[in-house]
C-alpha cells in the first residue's frame, strides 16, 4: 500500500522551512513562536509610529496651511494611525481657545484617516478611526456655527462607524451628535442621544466619560429651563470625572452648575460656589473662562440687588468679549447690564448703551437676524419703553441664535 503524502494545504499548523515538527507538541510551540514574533513586530511598529507622530505633526504645522493636506495626500509616511490620533487630540485641546486651529487639525485628521491602509491596520480599526476623525471635524464645524456641514460630517462618521466594531467610538459620535442637537435647539433629541451614550460608558465602566455625558445632559436640560434637573445631573457628573484627564471640563462644569443654581433662584448658594471656584478659574481656565466668570458674577450680584458691584462686573465682562470678538456673548452681557440700568432708573445711560450696541456688534460675529433684534431694543430704549420682559426675550433669542444665523426673532417689541 502506497503511503499518501500529506497535503500542505490541509496541514493546520504552519511549518518553518526545513524544520518539520516532530510531534504535536513541537507543532504547537512552533505556532506560538510565530504568533509571538508577529505580535512583537506589531508592537515595534506601533512604538515607532508613536515616536514619529510628534515629528510628523510638527512638520505638518511648519508648512503653510494650504500645503498641509497636499503633503498628506502625496507622502505615504503621513498615512499613520498615531498621527491621526494626535491630530484629533490637539484638535480637542483647541476647541475653546482657538476654534480655527481646532478645525484645521480636524480637517487634517480626516485627510490622514482616509489614507490609512486597512491591510496594515485591519479593516475595523481603520473604519473606527475614520469615524472618529469625521466626528471631530463635525464638532469643529459646529463650534464654528456651520451647522449644515457639521451635520454632513457627522453623517459620514456614522457611515464609517457602522463598518467598525468599537462601541466607544459609537458613543463618542452620539455625544458629538448631541452637541449638535443642542446647538440646533433640539434639546430633547440631545438628551435621548446622551442616554444612549451613557449606556455604553456604564457598560465599559468608564466613569470619566459617563461623568462628561451627565454634565452635557444637564446643560441640555438647563437650556430648556429645567434648572433643578440640570443642577442634579451636573453634580452627578462632577463626582465622576477625572480632573487629571480633562482639567478644562471641571471649569466648564462648575461654571454651568453655578449658572443654573442662580437661574433656579439659589442666588446666595451660587455666589458661595462661585467664590470657592474662583481659584480654579485662574489656575485651569482659559482667558475666556475668566471673562465668563465676571459675567456670571455680575448676573448673581444683580439678582441679589447688589447693583453697583453687578454693573462693574458686567461692564468688565462686556469689554472682554468685545475685545475678543465674541459678539453674541458681548450682546447678551450688554442686555444683562441693561437690566441693571433699568432697575436703577437710569434711562439716559440705558439709551447710551443701546445706541452703541448695534455699531459695535455689526463688525463682530453677530448675524443680521440678531442685529435686527438688537435694533428693537435700541428703538425701545429711545422711546423709554424698555421692560425686563423685553430684555429677557431678546437675551433668550440670542442664546438660541448663536449657532443658527437663520433663526428669526419672533418676540414682541
| The pLDDT value given to residue 400 | 83
Please, what is the angle between helix 267-284 and helix 247-263, to 10°? 160
Confidence grade of residue 44 (pLDDT, cut at 50, 70, 90): low
Cβ pair 174, 201 in contact under 8 A: no
Q: What is the mean pLDDT of the chain?
A: 87
Instruction: Say how far apart CA 68 and CA 84 lie, in whole Å.
Output: 14
Residue 357 lies in a domain: yes
* Last residue within a domain, chosen from 117, 136, 165: 165
Residue 37 lies in a domain: no
Residue 26 has pLDDT above 70, yes or no: no
pLDDT in tens, 219-276: 999 999 999 999 999 999 999 999 888 888 899 999 999 999 999 999 999 999 999 9
Instruction: Say how far apart CA 162 and CA 130 lie, in whole Å.
Output: 11
Beta strands in 170-275 (DSSP E): none
| The pLDDT value given to residue 388 | 92
| Pick from 112, 116, 92, 114: nearest CA to 103 | 92
For the beta carbon of residue 125, count every other beta carbon within 10 angstroms.
16
Count helices and strands in the chain by DSSP H and E runs? 19, 0
pLDDT in tens, 176-219: 999 999 989 899 999 999 999 999 999 999 999 999 999 999 99
| The pLDDT value given to residue 41 | 52
More confident residue, 412 or 375: 375
* Residue 288 Cα distances to 65, 222, 276, 329, 365, angstroms: 26, 21, 19, 11, 16
* Last residue within a domain, chosen from 165, 199, 232: 165
pLDDT in tens, 5-16: 444 444 444 444
Q: What is the average per-residue pLDDT within 324-346? A: 92
Residue 350 lies in a domain: yes
What DSSP character marks residue 345? T
How many domains does the chain contain in total? 2
Residue 358 lies in a domain: yes
To the nearest whole percent, how much of the chain has pLDDT over 70?
Answer: 87
The whole domain housing 351 covers 323-404
Instruction: Name the grid cell of 190.
Output: 440631545
Q: What is the average per-residue pLDDT within 329-339? A: 94
Confidence grade of residue 373 (pLDDT, cut at 50, 70, 90): confident
Instruction: Name the grid cell of 23.
Output: 510531534
Residue 317 lies in a domain: no
* Last residue within a domain, chosen from 125, 148, 165: 165
What DSSP character marks residue 44? H
| The pLDDT value given to residue 12 | 46
| The pLDDT value given to residue 25 | 66
Per-residue three-class SS string for 269-295: HHHHHHHHHHHHHHHHCCHHHHHHHHH
DSSP 295-337: HHHHHHHHHTT-HHHHHHHHHHHHHHHHHTT-HHHHHHHHHHH
Confidence grade of residue 40 (pLDDT, cut at 50, 70, 90): low
What DSSP character marks residue 8? G
Residue 129 has pLDDT above 90, yes or no: yes
Any residues with CB less than 8 A from the CB of 149 and at least 6 apart, and which?
Answer: 138, 141
pLDDT in tens, 289-314: 889 999 999 999 999 999 999 999 99
Cβ pair 289, 280 in contact under 8 A: no
| Pick from 282, 290, 299, 349: nearest CA to 323 | 290
For the beta carbon of residue 4, count every other beta carbon within 10 angstroms.
6
Instruction: Say how far apart CA 149 and CA 155 lie, in whole Å.
Output: 10
More confident residue, 280 or 367: 280
Confidence grade of residue 104 (pLDDT, cut at 50, 70, 90): very high
Residue 39 has pLDDT above 70, yes or no: no
With vertex at residue 401, the alpha carbon angle to CA 384 and CA 138, rounded to the nearest 5 degrees, is 165
Residue 133 lies in a domain: yes
| Pick from 162, 78, 67, 74: nearest CA to 116 | 78
Burial of residue 276 (CB within 10 Å: 0-12, 13-18, 19+) is exposed
| The pLDDT value given to residue 119 | 95
Residue 27 has pLDDT above 80, yes or no: no
Residue 27 lies in a domain: no
Residue 413 has pLDDT above 90, yes or no: no
With vertex at residue 216, the alpha carbon angle to CA 210 and CA 222, rounded to the nearest 5 degrees, is 140
Place of cell 456673548: 329
Any residues with CB less than 8 A from the CB of 334 and at least 6 apart, and which?
Answer: 318, 353, 357
| The pLDDT value given to residue 46 | 57
Q: What is the average per-residue pLDDT within 74-80? A: 95
For the beta carbon of residue 50, count every other beta carbon within 10 angstroms.
15
Residue 287 lies in a domain: no
Least confident piece of the model among 29-43, 179-193, 378-392: 29-43
pLDDT in tens, 149-185: 999 999 999 999 999 999 999 999 999 999 999 989 8
Amino acid at each position: 500500500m502506497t503511503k499518501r503524502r500529506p497535503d500542505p494545504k490541509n496541514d493546520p499548523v504552519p511549518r518553518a522551512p526545513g524544520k518539520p515538527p516532530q510531534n504535536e507538541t513541537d507543532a504547537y510551540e512552533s505556532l506560538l513562536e510565530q504568533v509571538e514574533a508577529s505580535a512583537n513586530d506589531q508592537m515595534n511598529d506601533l512604538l515607532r509610529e508613536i515616536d514619529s507622530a510628534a515629528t510628523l505633526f510638527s512638520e505638518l504645522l511648519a508648512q503653510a496651511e494650504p500645503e498641509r493636506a497636499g503633503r498628506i495626500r502625496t507622502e505615504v509616511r503621513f498615512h499613520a494611525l498615531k498621527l491621526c490620533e494626535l491630530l484629533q487630540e490637539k484638535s480637542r485641546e483647541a476647541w475653546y481657545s482657538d476654534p480655527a486651529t481646532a478645525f484645521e487639525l480636524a480637517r487634517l485628521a480626516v485627510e490622514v484617516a482616509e489614507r490609512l491602509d486597512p491591510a496594515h491596520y485591519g479593516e475595523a480599526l481603520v473604519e473606527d478611526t475614520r469615524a472618529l476623525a469625521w466626528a471631530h471635524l463635525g464638532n469643529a464645524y459646529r463650534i464654528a456655527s456651520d451647522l449644515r456641514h457639521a451635520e454632513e460630517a457627522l453623517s459620514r462618521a456614522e457611515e464609517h462607524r457602522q463598518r467598525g466594531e468599537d462601541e466607544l467610538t459609537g458613543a463618542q459620535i452620539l455625544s458629538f451628535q448631541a452637541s449638535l442637537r443642542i446647538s440646533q435647539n433640539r434639546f430633547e433629541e440631545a438628551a435621548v442621544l446622551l442616554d444612549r451614550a451613557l449606556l455604553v460608558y456604564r457598560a465599559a465602566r468608564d466613569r470619566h466619560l459617563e461623568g462628561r455625558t451627565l454634565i452635557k445632559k444637564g446643560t441640555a436640560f438647563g437650556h430648556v429651563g429645567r434648572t433643578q434637573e440640570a443642577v442634579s445631573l451636573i453634580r452627578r457628573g462632577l463626582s465622576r470625572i477625572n480632573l487629571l484627564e480633562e482639567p478644562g471640563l471641571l471649569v466648564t462644569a462648575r461654571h454651568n452648575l453655578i449658572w443654573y443654581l442662580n437661574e433656579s433662584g439659589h442666588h446666595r448658594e451660587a455666589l458661595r460656589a462661585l467664590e470657592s471656584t474662583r481659584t480654579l478659574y485662574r489656575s485651569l481656565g482659559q482667558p475666556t473662562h475668566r471673562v465668563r466668570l465676571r459675567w456670571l458674577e455680575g448676573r448673581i450680584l444683580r439678582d441679589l440687588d447688589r447693583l453697583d458691584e453687578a454693573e462693574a462686573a458686567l461692564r468688565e465682562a462686556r469689554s472682554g468679549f468685545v475685545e475678543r470678538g465674541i459678539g453674541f456673548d458681548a450682546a447678551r452681557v450688554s442686555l444683562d447690564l441693561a437690566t441693571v440700568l433699568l432697575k436703577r432708573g437710569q434711562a439716559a445711560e440705558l439709551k447710551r448703551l443701546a445706541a452703541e450696541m448695534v455699531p459695535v456688534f455689526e463688525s463682530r460675529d453677530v448675524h443680521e437676524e440678531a442685529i435686527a433684534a438688537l435694533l428693537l431694543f435700541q428703538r425701545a430704549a429711545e422711546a423709554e419703553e424698555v421692560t425686563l420682559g423685553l430684555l429677557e426675550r431678546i437675551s433668550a433669542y440670542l442664546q438660541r441664535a448663536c449657532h443658527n444665523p437663520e433663526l428669526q426673532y419672533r418676540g414682541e417689541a
